[in-house]
């Protein structure tokens, strides 16, 4: 699956980083708790979250995730978008809620990956 | 590789900037050619520590030493100290406020994550005086 596939499956819109749309992704994680993301991830390229603050971008940076999907119609601030651009992170927004967003990606073959 | 030392002062009143030091260490380690797995371990352990300093201790200092064999991180603050270290080390135990939880932290995973991603960790804490956490990640 590519970032472009995620965008199509989730009816998402690009906020930044559309140039990375052909980049392959193999696993994802979804949480509003950044500490949980930091505790259990390994090689998750996509982070789905309903949390919307700069620490989401930093968490993605620390775990080497290169695509963030903001769910439930959350919109990142200009500051967050700038941070993402500096770090080469693609941001997508979708109106889906967490359960549906994760379910749609899972049913299309994306998995949660191996925990650290 | 000769020893590299990095020092940071962490502001305690700006949650938005928490993680800047860890991000800087991460990019410097990449430039030094440290393997991606080690870079990630160090980054996550340090980031959790930095967040802890901001939410619990009004900031502090971070000193990172990178030698040929190991990366040593010393996080020192003059915060309230940790009343019960054993309890604080339990996954899920947290004294963070609802406000901090709303920001995506305070799940009680900070110290457990720091221990998980470092090869050695020690905590020196005194109530009312502050806490120093030393973490090591071995390169070989």
**A95-108 per-position pLDDT tens digit:** 999 999 999 999 99
The residue-averaged pLDDT of A1-27 equals: 97
Give the closest of B15, B26, B103 to A62, CB-based: B26
Task: Look up tokens 């052909």; give the residue.
Answer: A22
Q: Considering only residues 112 to 131 of chain B, which have any Cβ-Cβ distance to chain A shorter than 8 Å?
A: 112-113, 116-117
Chain A residue numbers touching B107 (CB-CB < 8 A): 33, 35-36
Residue A91 Cα to chain centre, angstroms:
7
On whether the CB atoms of residues B15 and B103 are closer than 8 A, the answer is yes
The verdict on a CB contact (< 8 Å) between A56 and B40 is no
**Disruptive mutation site among A31, A39, A83 for chain B (greatest number of B CBs within 10 Å):** A39
Residue A18 has pLDDT above 70, yes or no: yes
CB A93 within 8 A of CB A13: yes
- In chain A, what residues touch B47 (CB-CB under 8 Å)? 38, 58-59, 62
Q: How many whole angstroms from its chain centre is CA B120?
A: 13
Per-residue burial over B46-71, b = 16 or more CB atoms within 10 Å of its CB, e = otherwise:
bbbbbbbbbbbbbbbbbebebeeeeb
Contacts of B65 (CB under 8 A, 6+ apart): B3, B4, B5, B6, B71, B72
pLDDT at A15 over 80: yes
pTM of the predicted model as reported, rounded to 2 decimal places: 0.92
Residue B58 is classified by DSSP as S
Q: Write out pLDDT tens, residues A44-56.
A: 799 999 999 999 9
Each residue's pLDDT, cut to its tens digit, for chain B (140 residues) gives 689 999 999 998 788 899 999 999 999 999 999 999 999 999 999 999 999 999 999 999 999 999 999 999 999 999 999 999 999 999 989 999 888 888 899 888 999 999 999 999 999 999 999 999 999 999 97
Whole-number pLDDT of residue B1: 61
Residue with tokens 């990956």: A113
CATH architecture assignment, domain A3-107: 3-Layer(aba) Sandwich (3.40)
- Model confidence at A5, pLDDT cuts 50, 70, 90, reads very high
pLDDT band for position A116 (cuts 50, 70, 90): low
Architecture of domain B4-138: 2-Layer Sandwich (3.30)
The pLDDT of residue A43 is: 77
Taking the CA of residue A61 and the nearest CA in chain B, the distance in Å comes to 8
Question: At residue A87, does pLDDT exceed 90?
Answer: yes
Span of A3-7, A32-36, A38-42, A50-54 with lowest mean pLDDT: A38-42
On whether any CB of chain A is under 8 Å from the CB of B105, the answer is yes
Which pLDDT value is given to residue A115? 62
* DSSP state for residue B81 in the 8-state scheme: -
Tokens 């991000």 found at: B23
Residues of A in contact with B23 (CB under 8 A): 58, 61-62
Instruction: Enter the DSSP assignment of B118.
Output: S
Helix axes B36-57, B110-117, angle to 10 degrees: 150
Contact A53 B19 (CB under 8 A): no
Query: Looking up tokens 């980031």, which residue turns up?
Result: B47
- For residue B32, the distance in angstroms to the closest alpha carbon of chain A comes to 17
CA distance A116 to chain B (A): 9
ipTM: 0.89
pLDDT at A1: 94
Decide: helix, strand or coil at residue A114. coil
Task: Give burial (CB, 10 Å; 0-12/13-18/19+) of A11.
Answer: exposed
For residue A63, list chain B residues with Cβ-Cβ distance below 8 A: 40, 44
Distance CA B128, CA B122 (A): 19
| Average pLDDT over every residue of A84-98 | 97
Give the pLDDT of residue B99: 85
């Amino acid at each position: 699956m590519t970032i472009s596939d995620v965008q199509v499956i989730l009816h998402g819109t690009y906020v930044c980083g559309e140039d990375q749309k052909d980049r392959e992704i193999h696993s994802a994680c979804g949480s509003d708790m950044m500490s949980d993301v930091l505790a259990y991830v390994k090689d998750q390229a996509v982070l789905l979250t309903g949390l919307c603050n700069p620490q989401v971008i930093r968490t993605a940076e620390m775990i080497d995730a290169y695509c963030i999907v903001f769910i439930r119609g959350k919109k990142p601030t200009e500051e967050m978008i700038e941070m993402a651009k500096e770090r080469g992170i693609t941001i997508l927004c979708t109106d889906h809620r967490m359960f549906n967003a994760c379910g749609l990606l899972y049913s299309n073959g994306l998995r949660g990956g191996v925990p650290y | 590789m000769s020893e590299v030392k990095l020092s940071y002062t962490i502001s305690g009143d700006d949650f938005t900037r928490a993680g800047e030091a860890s991000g800087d260490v991460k990019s410097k380690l990449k430039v030094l050619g440290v393997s991606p797995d080690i870079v990630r371990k160090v980054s996550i352990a340090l980031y959790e520590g930095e967040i802890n300093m901001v939410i619990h201790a009004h900031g502090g200092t971070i000193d990172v030493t990178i030698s040929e064999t190991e990366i040593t991180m010393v996080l020192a603050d003059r915060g309230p100290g940790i009343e019960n270290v054993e309890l604080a080390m339990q996954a899920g135990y947290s004294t963070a406020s609802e406000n901090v939880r709303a920001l995506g932290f305070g799940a009680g995973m900070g110290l457990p994550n720091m221990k998980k991603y470092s090869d050695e960790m020690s905590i020196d804490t005194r109530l009312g005086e502050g806490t120093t956490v030393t973490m090591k990640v071995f390169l070989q």
